[in-house]
């Protein structure tokens, strides 16, 4: 005890001396030293967190339903982090190229490193990319983009140009609304209102069915006799969100009127809609019935309006279920060479003739079915979604480049199919014996073998993973991403590819990069490798251009 006492007393003496010195300091000095000490401690703690924990994975929010055993055995956290950082690097590469060679213009041409303004000069890539930049935490790029957007006058377009109503609603209006909800920058909401108002004259028809183009400078629609159903019926989410955020109901009322008209219109089969609408009468009397181009997102928005409104409007779920039941009855077939390969073909306007053509655009359907299976308790739809997702992946997996063509063709049990050379998609003929390649692939190619950086398959892969928890969808998505990197990357960005069956890379790059590559394809890939509660499907509904809207509270 004697040996320990001096040491103890020594410690107390040191403490007393330090205390005495502390109190001899003036108040200002004590405050400065306290702030300095807290700053040093905070820096040390922050560095420990950065080194030990990935802050990205600490995000909290409601989870979608994923089997517990999948989460328990999930050892791919580090892999996912590496992969999403690779996708983020791809986005930064494409954005840097756009910023250097085309900033403020509609599109970058990524081979010649020039720009175009084919959408009227509103800077479509700029606006379409905003929320992707924010989601990927490219904050400086986001700030620069917002500053540029704030200076765009969306009440005017290039002289003589008529603005495409549907495209600018899903890209520009939606992009601004989504970016506003993420950042709460009021300038973005003001610009969204400017876009919404500039395009609103499209609804000024005798029926309320919108015209397909608007003369923004004159403040009126460009007259036309008909509009396709995807263009008329895929603006509802955007105008509803605009009404919600501005408190002005006129936007939602104008868009909702279209749904009411088409809901009551005569159809060749319950739930199935020919693509062409007569603007003067509101009748649908021509064009194919398709879940591909010109029809696709009409069906998608039935479900997404149900989700967005939290099921408070029974009209949307009823219409969706009618359409999906009819699709399953009349439009779903399978390959004669691969019993696991299901596809959705097209019907003629009478819903009696079938076309065995499966479009890449239709590959949004499995994701839609998965969302519907969850929100409307339709488990059979999820099983079909799995089969269709497999086919969509094989459209990539079976080519020399690993990229998918715009569409593939199938033959029926009698050996009939499309030649791929004609214009009548319902004129099936007896085909020659199947080649070894067709028997192996399960399908064959038509004339259009291009890949224009489309997002639909990776969209479905992201949703399928989040709904099922099956990691195979991540592997498929990663394979697709690597092939996009290999075959389409240029010095400044990424280019569409002319023929996916050719490996003559330099000859195949078309010098085109649609804004949806940044808005959709890269965003869905990034979210595929992100935690499932990051922009959770329980909290957000994605418009048809992949712009996430917060679901109504």
Three-state SS at 269: strand
Cα-based angle 117, 119, 120 (whole degrees, multiple of 5) = 70
CB count, 10 Å around CB of 351?
A: 20
Give me the DSSP letters along 413-475.
TTSEE--SSSS-TT--EEPPPPPHHHHHHSSEE-S---B----HHHHHHHHHHHHH--THHHH
- CB contact at 8 A, 171 and 520: no
3-state secondary structure labels for all residues of 378-408? CHHHHHHHHHHHHHHHHHHHCCCCCCCCCEE
146 DSSP β-pair partners: none
Instruction: Choose the catalytic residue: 80, 406, 499, 520.
Output: 406
Is 406 one of the catalytic residues?
Answer: yes
Residues with Cβ within 8 Å of 287's Cβ and at least 6 positions away in sequence, in order, are: 228, 274, 275, 276, 294, 349
What is the b/e burial string over 74-90, where b = at least 16 CB atoms within 10 angstroms of the residue's CB? eeeeeebeebbebbbeb
Is 456 one of the catalytic residues?
Answer: yes
Q: Cα separations (Å) of 178 from 172, 241, 255? A: 10, 9, 19
Is 539 one of the catalytic residues?
Answer: no
Give the largest CA-CA distance in the chain.
108
Q: Cα separations (Å) of 61 from 401, 530, 532? A: 39, 13, 9
Gap between the Cα atoms of 241 and 196, Å rounded: 11
Q: Identify the helix (H) or strand (E) that includes residue 484.
A: helix 472-488
Instruction: Choose the catalytic residue: 244, 346, 425, 456.
Output: 456
Is 485 one of the catalytic residues?
Answer: no
Residue 237, CA atoms < 13 Å, CB-side half-sphere? 37
Instruction: Choose the catalytic residue: 167, 300, 514, 545.
Output: 167
Q: Identify the helix (H) or strand (E) that includes residue 7.
A: helix 4-24
Instruction: Choose the catalytic residue: 80, 131, 141, 296.
Output: 296
Active-site residue list: 167, 296, 406, 456
């Amino acid at each position: 005890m004697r040996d320990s006492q001096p040491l103890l007393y020594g410690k107390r003496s040191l403490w007393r001396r330090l205390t005495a010195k502390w109190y001899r300091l003036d108040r200002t000095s004590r405050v400065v030293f306290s702030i300095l000490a807290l700053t040093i401690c905070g820096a040390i703690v922050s560095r420990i967190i950065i080194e030990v924990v990935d802050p990205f994975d600490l995000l909290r929010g409601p989870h979608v339903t994923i089997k517990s055993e999948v989460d328990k055995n999930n050892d791919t956290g580090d892999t996912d982090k590496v992969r999403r950082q690779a996708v983020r690097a791809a986005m930064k590469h494409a954005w840097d190229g756009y910023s250097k060679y085309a900033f403020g213009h509609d599109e970058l041409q990524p081979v010649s490193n020039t720009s175009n303004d084919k959408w009227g000069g509103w800077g479509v890539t700029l606006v379409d990319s905003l929320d992707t930049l924010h989601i990927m935490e490219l904050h400086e790029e986001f700030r620069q983009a917002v500053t540029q957007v704030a200076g765009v006058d969306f009440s005017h377009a290039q002289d003589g140009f008529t603005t495409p109503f549907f495209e600018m609603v899903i890209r520009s209006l939606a992009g601004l609304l989504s970016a506003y909800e993420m950042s709460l920058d009021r300038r973005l909401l003001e610009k969204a209102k400017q876009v919404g108002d500039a395009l609103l004259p499209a609804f000024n028809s005798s029926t309320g069915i919108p015209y397909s183009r608007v003369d923004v400078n004159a403040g009126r629609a460009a007259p036309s006799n008909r509009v396709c159903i995807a263009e008329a019926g895929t603006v509802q989410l955007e105008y509803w969100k605009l009404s919600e955020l501005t408190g002005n109901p006129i936007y939602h009322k104008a868009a909702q009127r279209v749904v009411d008209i088409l809901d009551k219109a005569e159809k060749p089969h319950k739930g199935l809609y020919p693509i062409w609408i007569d603007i003067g009468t509101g009748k649908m009397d021509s064009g194919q019935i398709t879940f591909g181009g010109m029809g696709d997102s009409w069906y998608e928005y039935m479900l997404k309006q149900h989700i967005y409104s939290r099921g408070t409007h029974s009209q949307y779920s009823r219409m969706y279920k009618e359409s999906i039941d009819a699709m399953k009855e009349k439009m779903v077939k399978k390959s004669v060479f691969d019993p696991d390969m299901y596809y959705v073909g097209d019907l003629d306007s009478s819903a009696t003739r079938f076309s065995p053509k499966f479009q890449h655009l239709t590959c949004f359907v499995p994701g839609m079915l998965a969302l519907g299976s969850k929100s409307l308790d339709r488990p059979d739809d999820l099983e079909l979604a799995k089969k269709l997702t497999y086919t969509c992946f094989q459209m990539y997996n079976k080519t020399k480049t690993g990229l998918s063509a715009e569409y593939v063709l199938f033959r029926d049990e009698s050996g009939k199919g499309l030649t791929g050379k004609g214009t009548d998609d319902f004129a099936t003929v007896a085909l020659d014996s199947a080649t070894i390649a067709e028997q192996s692939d399960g399908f064959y190619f038509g004339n259009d073998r291009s890949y224009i950086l489309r997002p639909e398959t990776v969209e479905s892969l992201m949703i399928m993973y989040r709904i099922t928890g099956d990691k195979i969808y991540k592997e498929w998505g990663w394979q697709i991403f690597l092939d996009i990197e290999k075959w389409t990357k240029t010095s400044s960005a990424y280019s569409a590819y002319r023929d996916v069956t050719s490996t003559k890379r330099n000859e195949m790059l078309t010098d085109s990069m649609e804004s949806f590559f940044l808005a959709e394809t890269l965003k869905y890939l990034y979210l595929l490798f992100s935690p499932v509660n990051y922009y959770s499907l329980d909290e957000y509904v994605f418009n048809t251009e992949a712009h996430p809207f917060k679901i109504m509270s």
